[in-house]
Amino acid sequence: MDPMLNIATRAARAAGDYIVRQLDRVDTLKITPKGRNDFVSEVDRKAEDEIVNILRKAYPTHGFLGEEGGRHGGPRAEYTWVIDPLDGTTNFLHGFPQFAVSIALLFKGKLECGVIYDPVRQELFTAKRGGGAALNSRRLRVTRQNGFKGALLGTGFPFKDQRHNDAYFAMFRELMKDTAGIRRAGSAALDLAWVACGRLDGFWEIGLMPWDLAAGVLLIQEAGGIVTDFENGDKFLETGNVLTANPRLHALMEEAIRPHVTDALRYTPPVSENPV
C-alpha cells in the first residue's frame, strides 16, 4: 500500500476504534450545538485529535483541514489532509449505526488518496489516484445501471440550510418517479463509498463541506464513476453540490435535475470563502 494511504488507514482505524468504544456512553457525552440541526460531541473532537496526531507525526510539514479543528498547519502547504472524524454525528448520538471516519489527502489541490472507515461494519474503503479503489482490499467498480428503472439512489436532505428546499424537493420528485427507491441514511461519506462499491447506483446532495466529500469523490472516480457539481463541472468541493453515478446514469440524473438548478445553487464562493 502507498505509504501515505497506509498512514491514513492507520489513523482512520484508530479513530474508528475510539468512536465504537464510546457507543455505550452516548448519554453521558458533552454535546454542543454548532448551528441549526448541527451538533458536535467530545467524541468528534477527540477522534479528530487522534487522526491529526498520527498524520502529523508522520508528516509534520503537511497542512490540515478538519471539520472540528478548522485549517491549521499552513494554508500554502503542498499537501493538505481533509478530515471528517465522525461523519454522521447525529446518527452516532442516536445509536443509528451509519457513520464513518473520512480522511483525504490533497496535493496541490488535487485529490491524491482517500480513506473511509465504517467502524461498525469494519469496512475500510480506500482509494489512490490512478491506483483504483477497494473495500477491504477488494477492487471496486460502480454499477452498470443504465437507466432510472431499477436504480437505487442516495441523497441527503438540506436540513442545516433550508433555503434550497424548493429546488431540492423538485429534484427529489423528478428523480423518484421511475427509480426503485431513494435512500437517505445520514452519512454523505458512506453514501459516496456505497456508490463506489455498487450498493447505490447514484447520489446527489446540496451544500456539503469538503470533508464530507473529498475521500468519497476519489473512491467513486477510481471506481469508474463520474462526480460533478450541478452544472456538470468540477466545482463540487467549492459549491458543496454533488451529483454522481456511472457515466450513463449520471447523464440522465443531470438532465433530470437541470430545470431545478437555481441561480443560488450555481453560485460559487469567492476564493476567500473557499475552504480548500
What is the predicted pLDDT for the residue at 33?
Answer: 65
Residue 77 banded pLDDT, cuts 50, 70, 90? confident
Quick count: other Cβ atoms within 10 Å of Cβ 31? Answer: 13
Q: Give the Cα separation of 195 and 144 in Å (integer).
A: 11
Q: Give the Cα separation of 91 and 83 in Å (integer).
A: 18
Tell me which of 35 and 150 has the higher pLDDT: 150
In this prediction, residues 126-152 reach a mean pLDDT of 97
What is the CA 42 to chain-centroid distance, rounded?
Answer: 21
What is the predicted pLDDT for the residue at 39?
Answer: 53
Asked whether the domain spanning 152-273 has the same topology as the one spanning 3-139, the reply is: no
Q: Give the Cα separation of 10 and 58 in Å (integer).
A: 11
In this prediction, residues 79-108 reach a mean pLDDT of 95
What is the predicted pLDDT for the residue at 76?
Answer: 66
Q: Which fold has domain 152-273?
A: D-Maltodextrin-Binding Protein; domain 2 (3.40.190)
In this prediction, residues 237-245 reach a mean pLDDT of 96
HSE-CB of 132 using CA atoms within 13 angstroms:
10
Quick count: other Cβ atoms within 10 Å of Cβ 47? Answer: 28
- Residue among 245, 166, 150, 246 nearest 206 (CA): 166
Q: Give the Cα separation of 52 and 42 in Å (integer).
A: 15
Summarize pLDDT for 254-265 with one digit per residue, the tens: 999 999 999 888
Summarize pLDDT for 164-221 with one digit per residue, the tens: 999 999 999 999 999 999 999 999 999 999 999 999 999 999 999 999 999 999 999 9
Tell me which of 159 and 210 has the higher pLDDT: 210
What is the CA 60 to chain-centroid distance, rounded?
Answer: 25
113: helix, coil or strand? strand
CATH 3.40.50.2000 fits 3-139, yes or no: no
- Whether the per-residue pLDDT at 124 is higher than 50: the answer is yes
**Could you tell me the residue ranges of all domains in the chain?**
3-139, 152-273
- Partners of 65 in the β-ladder: 71, 82
- Whether the per-residue pLDDT at 40 is higher than 70: the answer is no
- Whether the per-residue pLDDT at 74 is higher than 50: the answer is yes
Average pLDDT, the chain: 91
Range with the poorest average pLDDT among 63-77, 91-105, 187-201 = 63-77
Query: Phi/psi at 71 (nearest 5 deg)?
Result: -95, 135
pTM for the model: 0.92
Grid coordinates representing 227? 462526480
Grid coordinates representing 88? 454522521
Q: What percent of the chain has pLDDT over 70?
A: 91
Q: How many residues does the chain have?
A: 276
